[in-house]
Amino acid sequence: MNMQKNIAVIRGDGIGPEIVEQALLVLDTIAKKYGHTFHYTDVDMGGCAIDKWGDPLPEEMLEKCKNADSVLLGAVGGEKWNHVPGHMRPEKGLLRLRAGMGVYSNNRPAKIWKQLSEASPLRADIVEKGIDFIIVRELTGGIYFGEHKTEEKEGQAIATDILVYSEEEIRRIGRIGFETARKRNKKLCSVEKSNVLDSSRLWKKVMHELASEYPDVELTDMLVDNCAMQIVKNPAQFDVVVTENMFGDILSDEASMITGSIGMIPSSSMGDTKNGLYEPIHGSAPDIAGKDLANPIGTILSAAMMLLYSFDMKEEATAIENAVSEVLDEGYRTADIMSNKKNCMQIGTKEMGIRIADKL
């Protein structure tokens, strides 16, 4: 069935524009092949929006995202804006976007591509057991959204960041964790710091209350410091991990690294509607911006997730994943996933995009 979809496109800063360009090439190729029409609306967010509008996410830009069928984002931030006040930073635009769209559930797959097993920093015998899990990260609560302040008291600066969670916030992300596990291998690991934090003790309690609604899913608890260790020691033990905002931020970088490169990992962020936010989990990498060095695959796979989760285009999404796999099979690599294995050829951002699109 031919579909018409409106996609808000945030190119952002650093490598953002060049990786998004390649994802749009792939989306255009899909549209042509399957008879869909994708309309793109440009949205300014992050450092470029600060330069242009004096605000990392002007209200009308947020409205454009809320009114779209879904949002594709490259990356935001950079050295240039590191010294602006906290509430004006490019990252604040991203946080306001997540909150404004109500996308409280962030899904970050950590899956090793067989072609890239050598790019993993882990020992071969650990990689061989398989790495295929998903981190379900709470995205619109916790310490990212509590009060932040720095004050002067008795001659010294004191900084405060408050970590708050309500039962309801925990319950709704907990449900996503259980539902995600139900569609996979039915193992859910809830990660917290309940030996120290009240918010984590509440987290654990709510997860166990929910468990009775999901008797088919096996729930385990793990402290976050132990989880950091287990991810490198025995990643094969994980199926779905559910955790709060900041723990999820940290663990998802770690999980991506063991799969070879953070440049490969897409993400979806959803709330209670089909309008999702899709972005690679890496940052704006200003050091390599504009040099045709960035890996566009994380963004291309994010576009595939958009087709699957927001538009119910399963066949199209699978076609993109297969195209990526074929290009990797042929030995083409961007710098971040290059290895000196025989038959590997280093190519740039653009060529990677074109080669993937050509396979569709």
Which residues are part of the catalytic machinery?
Answer: 144, 193, 225, 249, 253
Question: ∠ CA 223-180-72 to the nearest 5 degrees?
Answer: 100
For 7, half-sphere exposure in the C-beta direction (CA atoms, 13 angstrom radius) is: 28
**Cα-flanking dihedrals φ and ψ of residue 131, to 5°?**
-130, 110
Report the residue number whose CB is nearest to Mg ion: 249
> Please, what is the minimum distance in Å from the beta carbon of residue 77 to ligand IPM?
6
d(CA 62, CA 161): 25
Residue type, 274: K
d(CA 308, CA 247): 27
| 72 alpha carbon, distance to own chain's centre | 11
- Total residues interacting with Mg ion, rule: CB under 5 A: 1
Give the contact letters, 63-82, x = binds to ligand IPM (CB under 6 A), - = no. --------------x-----
Is residue 138 close enough to count as binding Mg ion by CB under 5 A? Answer: no
Nearer to ligand IPM, 138 or 316 (CB): 138
Residue type, 281: I
94 binds, among Mg ion, ligand IPM, none (CB under 5 to 8 A by kind): ligand IPM
d(CA 198, CA 196): 7
C-alpha distances out from residue 26 to 114, 119, 297, 313, 351, Å? 22, 25, 11, 14, 12
Is residue 91 close enough to count as binding ligand IPM by CB under 6 A? Answer: yes
Only one residue has tokens 């001659």, namely 155
Give the contact letters, 245-274, x = binds to Mg ion (CB under 5 A), - = no. ----x-------------------------
Is residue 10 close enough to count as binding ligand IPM by CB under 6 A? Answer: no
> Please, what is the minimum distance in Å from the beta carbon of residue 107 to ligand IPM?
12
> Please, what is the minimum distance in Å from the beta carbon of residue 64 to ligand IPM?
20
CB distance 32 to 319 below 8 Å: no
Nearer to ligand IPM, 194 or 302 (CB): 302
Residue type, 225: D
* Pairing outcome for strands 148-153 and 156-161: antiparallel
Nearer to Mg ion, 244 or 249 (CB): 249
Determine which residue in the list 20, 57, 94, 303 makes contact with ligand IPM, applying CB under 6 A. 94
161 binds, among Mg ion, ligand IPM, none (CB under 5 to 8 A by kind): none
Subset of 236-275 contacting ligand IPM (CB under 6 A): 249
Subset of 109-128 contacting ligand IPM (CB under 6 A): none
Nearest to 137 by CA among 173, 181, 89, 96: 173
Nearest to 203 by CA among 247, 236, 259, 145: 247
Give the contact letters, 271-290, x = binds to ligand IPM (CB under 6 A), - = no. ----------x---------
Residue numbers of the site for Mg ion (CB under 5 A)? 249
Residue numbers of the site for ligand IPM (CB under 6 A)? 77, 91, 94, 249, 281
